[in-house]
Structures are given as C-alpha cells and as structure tokens.
Amino acid sequence: MKIGEKNFSFGSRTYIMGILNVTPDSFSDGGEFDSVDKAVAHAKQMVADGVDVIDIGGESTRPGAKSITIEEEIIRVIPVIEELTKKVNIPLSIDTYKSEIAKKALDLGIAMVNDITALQGDKKLVNDIADYNVPIILMHMKGTPNNMQKNPAYDDVVKEIIDFLEKRIEYATFNKVKKENIIIDPGIGFGKRTGKGIEDNCEILRRLPEFKTLGHPIMIGASRKTFIGNVCGGKTLLPVTDRLEGSLAASSIAVANGADILRVHDVKQTRRCIDIVDSIIRK
C-alpha cells in the first residue's frame, strides 16, 4: 500500500501510527497538544522516536464525548496540518468522519483518512476517498462515542465485528474505493465490554487471526485503553498514566496474532518493543 510518498509492505514489519490529539478533552492527552507549537513539537519527537505515520485528530472520541461542529474542528486541525506538512517527511493521517474536514486536509497533503464510523458518519466521505485515491481505515464502533459504553452487548463479539466490517468493505468498494486502499480496525475500546469479568477487547486480540479472512491490513489501537486499566488494576482502575506496560503487552499480542499497524501514544517504547517482536515472528 502506498501512503503518501511511502510504500508500506504489510507482513514484512509492523508499522507504528502515532496519535496526535489536538483536543482539549481526549481521554489520555487532552489539552497537552492543543496549540500549533505543541503539536508540531510532539510530532517531531514522534518522528525521532521512529513513528511511521501520524494521525491527527481534532474531536475527542472518548466514552461519553459529544461531537463538535465542523467549524471548531477546522480551527483545531487545519493550522496544525499546514505546519506539519512543511516540517515532517512522513505520511500524515486525519482522524475524522466528516467529508468537509477530510477534503480540506487532503488538499493540504494529508495522505490517508481514519474514520471511526467506517463511512457511516458522512455519506459524502466515501466519494472523497475514491476521488482522492487515498487509504481509508474502517473501524467498528457500537453506537457513538457519546453512548458506546452504555451497556454494549454481543452474542459473539468477533463474529459480529467481522460481519460489520465485511459489509462496510463491500460498501466502500461498491462506491469505487480501491480494495487495496482499505485498512480495517476492530475498534478496541469502542463499544466493547470491559470489567465485571467480561473483556471483549482481550477476546478480540486473542481471536485476531480470524480477521485475516477479510483480506485487508489490520490496525489495532489498544494504547492506554480502559480495559488495560481494568485488567492490570485488579479491583482499582489504573489511571491512564500508568498503563504503558499493559499497552505494550496488548500491542505485542496483537502483532503476534496478525496486526499490521499499531495506533499508539507511546511511540518510542512501542517501537523498541515491537522491533523485538518483529525480529522473532517475522524472520
């Protein structure tokens, strides 16, 4: 797959997507990079730490989050994109489901789109992806960020996610998105049960090889998610700042079970960890 000017050879190594949230309220790093200077500095550090692509997001998708206006999202992300396209030489991704945001970002040089709604949030976006001929990440989410963790339920979580993604792939390709431009994401933490003895996210990672039947590269975003705080904290939920070890463990299992891209906050630590995993399983 070509993302921007870079060729991604999935299967030969694991690629790291660094998270750049230019938001005041994201669950892990809200407010840390909500100015252009801070965002650019953090992006440069991720490049130095070995990131392969940077995903820029202007709207929080934490559990309970409410959507923001297009105008507000433009104010948050466009100035950052304008600077980063001049100052880093790796592909950039826009984390949005809104056609108007995606088009502005693509016109500025963004190389791919990460859509948490799998092309359901804005019916125009599928045409933009086809017209610009760029990669798209299709993610599974049960509900919306505002309500996704309000009593989600599944009979077979993996089967239901695979069925959903299969339908969204069919929708995308029917609307002239190239098959080779599609990446899938089972949506760790997005409308998945955690705590009280049910860990959908762990089951997804355990059964990740089943997603290979869809025939597309797999992205996993487990970094600092609530299930890590639940599993590692025992009876006490670990704070977001204390979930690195659990995140690295989840990432390692994901790669061993077939993940191609990891979307993470901690680029340096993940890069070092996954270099070892790759050297064991991909040689």
Which positions are annotated as active-site residues? Answer: 225, 263
Q: Do the Cβ atoms of 118 and 94 come closer than 8 Å?
A: no
> Which of 151, 248, 256 minimizes the C-alpha distance to 195?
151
Report which DSSP code applies to 218: B
Element holding 72 (H helix, E strand): helix 70-87
How many CA atoms does the CB half-sphere of 245 hold within 13 Å?
6
Q: Do the Cβ atoms of 48 and 61 come closer than 8 Å?
A: no
Token representation of residue 44: 């440069």
Rounded CA gap, 237 and 179, in Å? 40
Long-range Cβ contacts of 201-204 (<8 Å, 24+ apart): 201/225, 201/227, 201/250, 202/227, 202/231, 203/157, 203/158, 204/157, 204/158, 204/161
Q: Do the Cβ atoms of 92 and 20 come closer than 8 Å?
A: no
Rounded CA gap, 276 and 153, in Å? 36
Sequential DSSP letters for 94-134: EE---HHHHHHHHHTT--EEEETTTT-S-TTHHHHHHHHT-
